[in-house]
Structure 1
Amino acid sequence: MNPQLHKLTRMASAPTRMIIGLMSGTSLDGLDIALCKFSGSGRETGVEVLEFTTIPYPEDFKEELKAISFKEQVELRKVTLLHKLVGSRSAEMILGALSDWNVAVQDVDLIASHGQTIFHAPFSLHHNPELPDSTLQIGDGDHIAELTGIITLSDFRQKHIAAGGEGAPLAVYGDYLLFADSVENRILLNIGGISNFSWLPSSGRIQDLFSTDVGPGNTLMDQFVQQHYPGKYYDKDAEIAKAGRVNPKLVEALCSDPFFNQPFPRTTGPELFNLDYLEQAISASGQEPLSGEDILASLCSFTAQSIVSAIQQTVGDLDYAVYLSGGGMHNPLLVEMIQSGLGLDLKDTTALGINPDAKEAVLFALLANECVAGSGTSYGYGKGIPNVSMGKISLPG
């Protein structure tokens, strides 16, 4: 037997597994690396986050990624080259983090790499009945495995699509296993570039599980800042937006896209919510010219309204608690607007024992743990939540 396959067999039945989870979102700002210790699987999963760091991408690398991300036409040569480069850069960052943490490479059982999304194309975005739902993440798992010497799982979203999903959101799998509660109805709200949430009913009825993308999270605000405020990549602490005033007519135009009338669950990405989308809304609302401050305040309101509306439409009058994660939780104006719209105080996943900045990386590590050690957890065959084991395995050596 191949010694790496033998290693997989042994770790599947071992009492614990050390797994590194990697996540880089649509903001393209850097790589989240979480070192996790797992025990069990399914509803018996236990996880301890031993270490976590975010390593920023160098500016030139970030610009290379931006050149091929979320655009209908890009240079295929550059996509091909960056597929390898994202993988090898990820491996370098992992090795550097392990060195900083004084953790030996041989002590790590698995790496779970989300990869870098460069295009998300569900039917709801491309509208071509002759074409399937699809998505593309780059960052080759073989390069990560070979350069680190650690078995690597990657390309998780393809299996989700193959089983009838849209490739997103995947957080519901980990949210259910780690955070479902028998007393409290919970919403796990992640505000990254795109916002999404998982509904975890206290009833325990897995057929009632629900997960959906909502719409923009930080992506429109970040894109606008990067274009109009040189040297800034995002509106830190909402300093710019707080200096502006929400323009109701612009917010109404932003909310008028047919996407918001699609049934739940639904998925989306910066392929739709980009600066062209903003310019069209400004024109349609007749609100030119507007100050940058007013536009950012309005974009913040747009994100908040889309989140509040989605939760109210899907959850109704039930009592629930909302737990935040993702970069948007650090935007105080956005959080204030969501709290006002929902009429409740928001918490974050620190209250549930997981660093909210690390949550997405931890959840992909959990998907790897399920792939290797799981025994077929049922998620109730809910719409958009196929019962699948995700992750392609790359063996080193």
Structure 2
Amino acid sequence: MNRNLQRLTELASRSERRIIGLMSGTSLDGLDVALCRISGSGEDTNVTLTHFATVPYTDDLKAEIRKVFAKKDIDFQHLCLLNPYIGQIHGRMILDCLNRWNLTPDDVDLVASHGQTVFHAPKSQHGLAKFPNATLQIGDGDHVAVTSGIITLSDFRQKHLAKGGEGAPLAVYGDYFIFSKRGENRLMLNMGGIANFTYLPGSLNAAEVFTTDTGPGNTLIDAFARRFFDQPFDEGGRIAARGRVNEDLLRILKKDPFFTTAFPKTTGPELFSLDYVRQAQQRSQTTSLTAEDLMATLTRFSADTIADALKSAIQPGETYHIYMSGGGMHNPVLTGAIREQLPEARFSSTDELGISGDAKEAVLFAVLANEAVAGGTTSFGDRQGVPTVSMGKISFPF
């Protein structure tokens, strides 16, 4: 037997695996690196986060990614070059983290690499009848594996697409395995560049679980913070707090058909872009808004569309606990506006559940890798958006 396959067989039979989850989202701020100890699989999954770091992207790397990020027309050679380049960079980032944690590659069993999203194109968005749902993450898994010296699972979203999903959000699987609790309805709200949530019923019935994007989280806030204030994001919501929400612009921003499309659905910065906001300003005759007022309005736009989506999932007479994660949870202007619209719900971060809200997405990919190697038996029924599927392509380091 090939020694790599033998190694996988041994890992599958172990009681515990040490897995690094990697996540870099649409904010392009850096790579989240989460080292987890994971035992069991499926509903018996148990996760302990032992080490976590966010390794910042350099300004040069951000600039290189933005040449192709969420753009229909690009230099194809540049995309081709970025794929191995980012894989090598992510591999070196793993090694740097392990060195900082006084560990070696031999202390890690698997890497679960999400890659860097550069384009998301569900059929509902591209509108081309003969083509299926599509998404593209770069940062080749073979390069991650060879550079780090660790067996790597990557390209998780393609199997989701192949089974009829839109390739996102994938958090539903890990959310269900590690955060479900009998007797408590939970909504796992992640506010990254795009916001999404997973509904976890207190009944623990996997067939009732669903996940959906809600629209923009931080993507527009971050884009205009860079444009007008030369800041990567609105730290603590301080810029938005200085402005006033413009109701005319807010009304037009909310008019996109995405917001009336039934769950589950996905989207990305391909739709919610600088042009989207410019067109809304022209239509609402608000092109002369101050930068602070625009930031306040965009923050409310995210808050209102998140709250509206959550309300759609809440049933009268039921109680819900909303657990927040992602960069948006650190913006009190954003979270405060959401809380105001859901006064009956209880809010906290996933830190309360033992997983840092900043690390959660990286941890969830580690869980997906664990399922691919040692699980894959849980049925989520046959519903749109949550296909029963095992995800991740395997790359060997030698």
Note whether the superposition's TM-score is higher than 0.5. yes
What code does the residue aligned with 1:271 have? E
Structure 2 counterpart of 1:172: 172
Describe how 1:86-125 pairs up with structure 2 within 5 A. 86-125=86-125
2:384 match: secondary structure: coil
**Cα distance, 1:314 vs. partner?**
2.5
Separation (CA, whole Å) in 2 of partners of 1:294 and 1:76: 38
2:47 match: secondary structure: strand
What code does the residue aligned with 2:326 have? G
Separation (CA, whole Å) in 1 of partners of 2:383 and 2:38: 26
- Contact kept, 8 Å, 2:174 with 2:367, in 1: the verdict is yes
Structure 2 counterpart of 1:52: 52
**Cα distance, 1:130 vs. partner?**
1.3
2:382 match: secondary structure: coil
Name the TM-score, length of structure 2 as normaliser.
Answer: 0.98
Structure 2 counterpart of 1:75: 75
Deviations 1:345-396 (A, max 9, x none): 4200011111110000000000000000004111233321000000000011
Structure 2 counterpart of 1:239: 238
What code does the residue aligned with 2:91 have? A
**Cα distance, 1:148 vs. partner?**
1.4
Separation (CA, whole Å) in 2 of partners of 1:171 and 1:213: 11
**Cα distance, 1:284 vs. partner?**
0.9
Separation (CA, whole Å) in 2 of partners of 1:395 and 1:252: 51
Describe how 1:278-357 pairs up with structure 2 within 5 A. 278-317=277-316, 318-343=318-343, 344-357=345-358
Deviations 1:231-282 (A, max 9, x none): x111111111100001111110000011111111100000000110000111
| 1:270 to 2:277 alignment | no
Separation (CA, whole Å) in 1 of partners of 2:389 and 2:186: 23
- Contact kept, 8 Å, 2:164 with 2:384, in 1: the verdict is no
Deviations 1:111-168 (A, max 9, x none): 0000000000001110111111000000000001111111000000000000110000
What code does the residue aligned with 1:139 have? G
- Contact kept, 8 Å, 1:209 with 1:380, in 2: the verdict is no
Structure 2 counterpart of 1:39: 39
Structure 1 counterpart of 2:211: 211
Separation (CA, whole Å) in 1 of partners of 2:367 and 2:350: 16
Structure 1 counterpart of 2:363: 362
Could you say what the CA RMSD is over the residues aligned between the two structures, in angstroms?
Answer: 0.8
**Cα distance, 1:311 vs. partner?**
1.1
Structure 2 counterpart of 1:385: 386
Structure 1: tracts of 5 or more residues without a match:
none
1:346 match: secondary structure: strand
- Contact kept, 8 Å, 1:23 with 1:361, in 2: the verdict is yes
Separation (CA, whole Å) in 2 of partners of 1:298 and 1:61: 30
Separation (CA, whole Å) in 2 of partners of 1:381 and 1:16: 30
What code does the residue aligned with 2:275 have? D
Structure 2: tracts of 5 or more residues without a match:
none
1:132 match: secondary structure: coil
Separation (CA, whole Å) in 1 of partners of 2:100 and 2:304: 42
What code does the residue aligned with 1:213 have? D
| 1:224 to 2:236 alignment | no
Name the TM-score, length of structure 1 as normaliser.
Answer: 0.98
Deviations 1:66-118 (A, max 9, x none): 11100011110110111011100000000000000011211111000000000
2:371 match: secondary structure: helix
Separation (CA, whole Å) in 2 of partners of 1:147 and 1:206: 38
Deviates more, 1:373-382 or 1:168-177: 373-382
Separation (CA, whole Å) in 2 of partners of 1:57 and 1:123: 31
- Contact kept, 8 Å, 2:160 with 2:391, in 1: the verdict is yes
**Cα distance, 1:315 vs. partner?**
2.2
2:90 match: secondary structure: helix
What code does the residue aligned with 1:277 have? Y
Separation (CA, whole Å) in 2 of partners of 1:187 and 1:108: 32
1:52 match: secondary structure: strand
Structure 2 counterpart of 1:373: 374
Structure 2 counterpart of 1:14: 14
What code does the residue aligned with 2:277 have? L
- Contact kept, 8 Å, 2:249 with 2:284, in 1: the verdict is yes
**Cα distance, 1:316 vs. partner?**
3.2
Percent sequence identity over aligned pairs: 53
**Cα distance, 1:298 vs. partner?**
0.4
